[in-house]
Amino acid sequence: MNKQQVAGGKWQVTHHTSHITFYFSLFTLLLLSACGLANPPRLATATAQAALTPTPSPEPLILPVATPTAVSGGSSTQPSAQAEPNPSLTVWVNETSDAHEQMLDQMTADFEAQHNVDVEMVLVSPQLLPDLVNTAVLSDTLPDIIIHPIEFSVGWAERGIFDTAAAAEVLTQLDADTFNADALALVQTEGGQPAALPNSGYHQLVIYRTDWFEQRNLAVPNSFRALSAAAEATTDRENLVAGFVVPTESNLVTTQQIFEHMALANGCQLVDEAGELQLLEPECASALNFYYTIINQNSPIGVQTDTSTRNAYLAGRTGLIMGPPSLLPQLAGLDPEAPPTCPECAATPDFLAQNSGFVTDINGAEFGNISLLGITSAAERETAVLFATYWFNDGYEQWLSVDSERKVPLRLGTAANPRQFIDAWGSRPLAGSDQTLASLYGPEVVATLREGIATTGRWGLPQGQGELITTLYEELTLSIMLQEMLSGYFSSDQSIIEAYNRIVDLIPNYAFPNVTDN
């Protein structure tokens, strides 16, 4: 039994052997990060940033979850020296909340009791996951299973990090027809096997104040024209009201995702099936110009984060944002750490829930954030497959029960009950309350949020360019360029060329002429 102190000052008891090489590599990675390659600073924003709501303290880097076997040392019965040790596996999960820790602890206990397999659950900050995985590859300390976002699935499979044959075996055991077919198609590898298994997902949303829109006779903001008109009509700088707020910080994945959604909405694809970049096509240039204009003219001065975007809406300082459905319980006043503070909210805590609308598509294009379960090439396949089948059967309801508003199930049901999981979504209690999405927002909103998670696709994946997408999101190339553009380093016309050149540099032996050299 080994007692470890981990991030946040908590003491965890675990019987598992520590990965000494991994922690040394992690320390080296963080030291290198501290010493170099900071993103270029935004210009003339110090005063504006000082006025922003502070961003919460960083999430823990990694947090081992205590397991039942860790506290079983009080037994007087000792195993014989000849006894075979239990099989073991390590699972990385890109969540860090207390609720996830408790749920995963229970899931681990149930699985260990059923199968006599020792499981080490490790909660990993999503922002650090790609760096930690690449460090683990170098130090030969990969876990057995990684819960991760779709940006990394195909690229990590093509690099040999994921065992696609193991994923295919799980899919065969569970029946591929019980999974969301569009999500499976997005992560097919060249060999015809899935890079990983679709787990859950959610739509990126446009969230708007319906009362403000009705007062101004504004159209539903589901097109570039309607978004621009609404942003302009609701901007009131004298009263510190912004017409449109989204994250713009260079180290945030959401900065890149917001623009990718807008690009898809304008028919802009990053790359074609042959691997040639398409960023210099007119559709991409006009999408970037729209992004620049609506933010430059209607957003608060200075860098914005996920937190400042949320807080602006909760405070009634904007009527139009883009963000995840994790905001929905907060609009209803169910999160004591992020209560609504709009003028009307004191008397009516759920005022924003009653007066907000939700759009999933812009110009017909939707953007889905998808979580997947990947089995690594370091895993003992039989044990990892056993755990993955458990995850999607006995453990799946537990996974879906925490933060359910952003976990639309991508295993729709079982062979015996094909819609068991998907039909139950929307009726789960939110944030420890007795409220559900259905009771708060109605069946029409539930249906809108539930359907089409993987329908539109994502940049590069339908074109078979998953390795490029993984690199792009590991480097956050576009997030950095977008912040630089908004800071005044480049115009939008210059920025599209800058983005093109930086992405060309990410592609080894780019097989096409660099048209900016002409």
The gap from C-alpha 464 to its chain's centroid, in whole angstroms, comes to 21
Say if residue 491 is in the same domain as residue 379.
no
At CB < 8 A and 24+ separation, what contacts does 300-303 make? 300/48, 300/242, 300/245, 301/45, 301/48, 302/42, 302/45, 302/47, 302/48, 302/49, 302/51, 302/52, 303/42, 303/45, 303/48, 303/49, 303/52, 303/248, 303/249, 303/483
Averaged pLDDT, 223-230:
98
Q: For 336-348, how does the pLDDT look when each residue is reduced to its tens digit (9 = 90+)?
A: 999 999 999 999 9
Say if residue 137 is in the same domain as residue 155.
yes
Q: Which residues pair with 245 in a beta bridge?
A: 321
| 61, 31 Cβ separation under 8 angstroms | no
pLDDT at 460 over 80: yes
Distance of alpha carbon 254 from alpha carbon 375, whole angstroms: 26
Say if residue 209 is in the same domain as residue 197.
no
| pLDDT score, position 49 | 37
| pLDDT score, position 515 | 80
Q: For 15-28, how does the pLDDT look when each residue is reduced to its tens digit (9 = 90+)?
A: 333 333 344 344 44
Q: Is residue 283 part of a domain?
A: yes
pLDDT at 488 over 70: yes
pLDDT band at 113 (very low <50, low <70, confident <90, very high): very high
Q: Which residues pair with 370 in a beta bridge?
A: 201
pLDDT at 37 over 90: no
Say if residue 140 is in the same domain as residue 211.
no
Q: For 362-377, how does the pLDDT look when each residue is reduced to its tens digit (9 = 90+)?
A: 999 999 999 999 999 9
| pLDDT score, position 66 | 55
Q: For 427-450, how does the pLDDT look when each residue is reduced to its tens digit (9 = 90+)?
A: 999 998 999 999 999 999 999 999
Residue after which a domain boundary falls, among 389, 411, 443: 443
Structurally, the chain folds into a number of domains equal to 2
pLDDT band at 185 (very low <50, low <70, confident <90, very high): very high
Which DSSP string corresponds to 184-225? HHHTB-TTSSBSSEEEEEEE-EEEEEHHHHHHHTPPPS-SHH
| pLDDT score, position 62 | 57
Say if residue 314 is in the same domain as residue 355.
yes
| pLDDT score, position 518 | 58
| pLDDT score, position 64 | 66
Say if residue 333 is in the same domain as residue 260.
yes
Q: Is residue 268 part of a domain?
A: yes
Q: Is residue 78 part of a domain?
A: no
Range of the domain at 396: 52-70+87-202+368-443
| pLDDT score, position 332 | 98
Q: Which residues pair with 207 in a beta bridge?
A: 321, 358
Q: Is residue 82 part of a domain?
A: no
Say if residue 308 is in the same domain as residue 350.
yes
Distance of alpha carbon 344 from alpha carbon 317, whole angstroms: 12
Helix (H) or strand (E) holding 165: helix 164-174
Say if residue 331 is in the same domain as residue 389.
no
Residue indicated by tokens 């002409």: 518
| pLDDT score, position 75 | 42
Residue indicated by tokens 């009307």: 344
Instruction: Look over the chain and give the mean of its residue pLDDT values, rounded to a whole number.
Output: 88
Distance of alpha carbon 344 from alpha carbon 327, whole angstroms: 18
Residue indicated by tokens 């210059």: 494
Averaged pLDDT, 2-6:
33
Say if residue 255 is in the same domain as residue 349.
yes
Please tell me which of 43-47, 48-52, 125-129 the model is most confident about, judged by mean pLDDT. 125-129
Say if residue 288 is in the same domain as residue 252.
yes
H helices present in 36-75, as ranges: 46-50
Q: Is residue 254 part of a domain?
A: yes
Percent of the chain with pLDDT strictly greater than 90 = 81
pLDDT at 60 over 60: no
Q: For 388-411, how does the pLDDT look when each residue is reduced to its tens digit (9 = 90+)?
A: 999 999 999 999 999 999 999 999
Check which CATH number belongs to the domain holding 166 and give it.
3.40.190.10
Q: For 251-279, how does the pLDDT look when each residue is reduced to its tens digit (9 = 90+)?
A: 999 999 999 999 999 999 999 999 999 99
pTM for this one?
A: 0.86
Q: For 62-102, how does the pLDDT look when each residue is reduced to its tens digit (9 = 90+)?
A: 566 655 444 333 444 555 556 788 999 999 999 999 999 99
| pLDDT score, position 65 | 60
Q: Is residue 113 part of a domain?
A: yes
pLDDT at 161 over 50: yes
Say if residue 234 is in the same domain as residue 351.
yes
Q: Is residue 30 part of a domain?
A: no
| pLDDT score, position 36 | 41
Spatial neighbors of 244 by CB under 8 A, at least 6 apart, are 227, 230, 231, 235, 294, 295, 298, 299, 318, 320, 321
Q: Is residue 16 part of a domain?
A: no
Say if residue 249 is in the same domain as residue 379.
no
pLDDT at 217 over 70: yes
